Amino acid sequence: MNTALILAGGTDSRFKMDIPKQFVNVNNRPIIVYTLEAFQNHPEIDEIIVSCLDGWQEMVRVYGKQFNITKLKHIISGGKDAQESTYKGLQHIKNKMDQGDIVVIHDAIRPLVTEEIISKSIEMCRKKGMGVAATHIMDTIMHSGNGKEGYQSINRYEIMKVQTPQAFNYSLIMGLHERAIREKCTGAWDNSSMITKLGEKVFFSEGSDINMKINTLEDVEMFKALYKMKSPEEFTDRRR
C-alpha cells in the first residue's frame, strides 16, 4: 500500500494574511485542495492522510467531500514542527502498514506537484528505500550570516535544492524517526534534514522548479500564473 501523508500543520508569521497559507483560496479552491487532488488522481496512491493545523481539521474534512477526495481517510492534529507532524502521521497508520509499504510525505503548500514527480519519488524509493525530490541549483550561492552580506561562494554543482514529495519505505522512515527521538535529534524542517543529522545518506529523485513551495503572497501570485498556464480552460471555467 502507498499512503500519501500531507503536512498541513504549519503557520508562518511572514505570510501576511489572516489564514494559514495552505487554506488561501485561489480561483475558488484552497491551495491544499490542489495538492490533495494531485494525490487523489495518482494511480499509485491508495490513501491520503493529512496532518493538520489544530482548528482546521473539520475544514479539511469538508473540502474532502466538496471536491471528491475519496482517498482521504484520516485527518489528524499536526505537531509543533514538520518532524513531529510527520511522526504523528506515521504513528497513526502504524498498525495498517506492512513490510514494503511506502509513505509519500508532501507539503500541502506545494500544489503544483505533478504525477511524474510523485511517480519518480516512488520509483526511487523502491530501488533505494527512499526517493527525495530535488533539483539542481542554477543561481550563485553564498554563505551569509545576516542576509545582508556574503562572505563565501559555494560551488552550486555540489548543492541540491530539496523538495517534497519524499517517498520512504515505511519501516525505514519509522525506524529513523524513533532513532531521532532516542538521540534527541528533533526540530528538523523535513525528513531529509533529519536523516542527514543522523549521519545517514539521502537518495534523490527528480524534482522540478515548477514544484514550488508557497511561502509568501508573491508565491501565491506566481502559483496563479503557473496554474493558469498549465490549465487555462479549467482556470477560466472556475472563475465563472
Provide the pLDDT for residue 240: 37
- For the beta carbon of residue 204, count every other beta carbon within 10 angstroms: 20
Rounded CA-CA distance 151/144 in Å is 6
Structural domains in the chain plus CATH codes? 2-135+161-238 (3.90.550.10)
Helix, strand, coil shares of the chain, percent, nearest 5, are 40, 25, 40
Provide the pLDDT for residue 231: 67
Q: What are the grid coordinates assigned to 179, written together?
A: 532513532
pLDDT in tens, the chain (240 residues): 999 999 998 655 555 567 888 999 998 899 999 999 999 999 999 999 999 988 899 999 999 999 999 999 999 999 999 999 999 999 999 999 988 999 999 999 999 999 999 999 999 999 999 999 999 998 888 989 888 898 888 888 889 999 999 999 999 999 999 999 999 999 998 999 999 999 999 999 999 999 999 988 888 889 989 888 876 555 554 443
Provide the pLDDT for residue 12: 56
| 205 phi and psi angles, rounded to 5 deg | -115, 175
Q: Are 173 and 103 in contact (CB under 8 A)?
A: yes
Q: Are 135 and 209 in contact (CB under 8 A)?
A: yes
pTM for this entry: 0.91
